[in-house]
């Protein structure tokens, strides 16, 4: 009987081949996770900025003073981000349909984009009503 204490050359070659195939797949999956984490951070920042702008837009303002604002760039740490505020009157019977004339309902959208990400935006939307004050 033979004592099997070590690996044969063929077994070592097979192990190296398996590792050679597995490592690129693992590294590719890890790279995707890292990229997804960066995207999640970008979305989180944009969502927080949009929420902040929405709050500032409607907090304590009279209904008539809530109006659209053109594209505005952030400064400082968020200088790659910009936002736009779109305010539209909406049909009282269908709050998704914008109308030209004044109604007692407005749809407020805050759209935050990032300069180096074409097609990326985070949009927050809310409806407000004229309660007479």
pLDDT of residue 31: 80
* Separation CA 117–CA 18 (nearest Å): 38
Tokens matching residue 50: 């949009």
Give residue-wise pLDDT tens across range 71-112: 999 999 999 999 999 999 998 888 888 999 899 999 999 999
Averaging pLDDT over each range in 8-12, 23-27, 120-124, which range is the top one? 120-124
Indicate whether 125 pLDDT > 70.
yes
Taking residues 13-26, what's their average pLDDT? 88
- Confidence at residue 6, expressed as pLDDT on a 0 to 100 scale: 76
Q: How confident is the model at residue 58 (pLDDT cuts 50, 70, 90)?
A: confident
pLDDT number for residue 33: 66
């Amino acid at each position: 009987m033979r004592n099997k204490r070590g690996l044969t050359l063929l077994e070592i070659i097979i192990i190296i081949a398996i590792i050679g195939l597995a490592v690129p797949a693992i590294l590719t999956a890890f790279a995707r996770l890292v990229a997804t984490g960066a995207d999640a951070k970008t979305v989180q920042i944009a969502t927080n900025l949009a929420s902040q702008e929405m709050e500032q837009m409607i907090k304590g303002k009279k209904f008539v003073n809530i109006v659209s604002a053109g594209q505005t760039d952030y400064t400082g740490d968020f200088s790659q981000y910009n936002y736009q505020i779109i305010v539209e009157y909406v049909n009282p019977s269908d709050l998704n349909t914008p109308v030209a004339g004044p109604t007692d309902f407005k749809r407020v959208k805050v759209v935050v984009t990032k300069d180096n990400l074409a097609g990326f935006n985070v949009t927050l939307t809310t409806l407000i009503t004229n309660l007479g004050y």
